[in-house]
Amino acid sequence: MCQLDHQNLAQHPTQVGSTANATSRPVQVIAVASGKGGVGKTNVSVNLSVALAQYGRRVMLMDADLGLANVDVLLGLQPHRDLSQVLLGRVALEDILIEGPAGISIVPSASGVARMADLAPAEHVGLIRAFSELDRPVDVLVVDTAAGLHDSVISFCCAVQEVLIVVCDEPASITDAYALIKVLSREHDISRVRVLANMVRHADEGHRLFHKLAAVCSRFLDVTLDYTGAIPYDDCLRKAVQRQEAVTVLYPGSPAGRAFNEIARKADKWPLPSGSSGRIEFFVERLVGSGF
C-alpha cells in the first residue's frame, strides 16, 4: 500500500548544501537520455532532481524536449514563459525559471511548438551558453533530453559531464539505447555513459538488462558503461504520476522512492568535472574559472 509520506528528509547527508559557493566549484551536469520514448525518462529526471535536492543540493532541471514539454505536465505546473521566448530574445533565462518540489528550479520548454524541435546547431549552442550567464547558485543541472537520436539530444549529451541512459525490458529499448551510445561514442568521442534500468520486476532483471547492453557495446564500441542501478516497477509511482507529484515527495518510503534516493546517493559521489572538454558545455565559464 502507498501511504502518503511527507516526512522531512533533512537527515540525508548534505554534500554541498546551501553554504556552497556556485562560482567557486564546478557545476555537475547530468543528461538523462533514452534511445526511445516510453521508458520513463522524464520520471527519472524529475525524481532524481528532487532526491538530489533532498540531499541538500541546489538543483536545476531543464526540460530539453524542446518541442514537446513534459516536466511541467508531470508536476502539474503551468509556466507562463518558456525556452521559446528565450530563444526569441524576449526574456532572459532567469525570467522563465519556476520552482518545483523540494525547491528545485525548473527550466520549462515549449509544448506544441514545432520550430523548437528543429533548432539549428547554433541555436542549441546559444541555449547551452545561456546557462553560463545565470547568477543563481546551482550545484547540479539535470537535463531531461528528448527521446531518440535527434540533433538536440546529441548536442545536450555532448555538453554535459555525465550521460545517464534509461533502459527498460523491451528489445527496442535496448536496441535504440545501443544506437544512441554508438553515435555518442563513434561520432563524438564520449567514452563513458551510465545506465539506469527502469521499471524492473526484480533487482536481477536490472543487472541482466545492463549486462545485455554492456556485452554488445564492449564487442563493437570503445566505450565504458557504468551501472547506476534500477528503479522497480511500483504502483506508488503510477499513483504519484496521476497526482502530478514526484514519488520521492509523495511516497518517499515506497520501493521506487527508496530506489531514487539510492540513485541520488550514488550520483552525489560522482566526480566533479576538472576542466573543459573542448566541446560547448553547460556552465563552461564557471567550469573553466573554478580553479579545479
Mean pLDDT along residues 188-214: 96
Q: Where are the alpha helices (DSSP H) in the chain?
A: 41-54, 71-74, 83-87, 93-96, 121-130, 151-158, 171-188, 203-220, 235-242, 247-250, 255-267, 284-288
How far is Cα 154 from Cα 156, in angstroms, rounded to an integer?
6
If you search the block for the grid coordinates 506508488, which residue do you land on? 236
pLDDT given for residue 21 in this prediction: 41
How far is Cα 42 from Cα 57, in angstroms, rounded to an integer?
19
Parallel, antiparallel or unpaired: strands 98-99 and 105-107: antiparallel
How far is Cα 223 from Cα 219, in angstroms, rounded to an integer?
10
Mean pLDDT along residues 196-215: 96
3-state secondary structure of 172: helix
3-state secondary structure of 114: helix
Cell of 33: 537520455
| Sign of the C-alpha dihedral computed for residues 244, 269, 283 and 148 taken in this order | negative
129 with 284: CB under 8 angstroms? yes
pLDDT 10s digits, 26-38: 899 999 999 999 9
pLDDT given for residue 67 in this prediction: 84
What CATH class is the domain 28-288? alpha beta
Angle at 254 between CA 253 and CA 259, to 5 degrees: 90
Tell me the residue length of the chain.
Answer: 292
Which of 5-9, 24-28, 262-266, 269-273: highest mean pLDDT? 262-266
pLDDT given for residue 289 in this prediction: 57
Is residue 25 predicted with pLDDT exceeding 50? yes
Give phi and psi for 168, each to the nearest 5: -135, 175
If you search the block for the grid coordinates 505546473, which residue do you land on? 77
pLDDT band at 117 (very low <50, low <70, confident <90, very high): confident
Is residue 158 predicted with pLDDT exceeding 60? yes
pLDDT given for residue 291 in this prediction: 43
pLDDT given for residue 288 in this prediction: 62
Rg (CA), the chain: 18
**Can you give the residue ranges of every domain in the chain?**
28-288
Question: How crowded is residue 217: how many other Cβ atoms within 10 Å of its Cβ?
Answer: 20
Cell of 281: 558545455
pLDDT 10s digits, 56-114: 999 999 999 998 889 999 999 999 999 999 988 899 999 999 999 999 999 999 877 77
Question: How crowded is residue 88: how many other Cβ atoms within 10 Å of its Cβ?
Answer: 8
Is residue 285 predicted with pLDDT exceeding 50? yes
87 with 98: CB under 8 angstroms? no
Lowest-pLDDT choice from 5-9, 184-188, 230-234: 5-9
Mean pLDDT along residues 150-164: 95
How far is Cα 92 from Cα 81, in angstroms, rounded to an integer?
10
How far is Cα 12 from Cα 260, in angstroms, rounded to an integer?
13
pLDDT given for residue 22 in this prediction: 39
To the nearest whole number, what is the mean pLDDT of the chain? Answer: 89
Helix or strand run (H / E) with residue 25? none
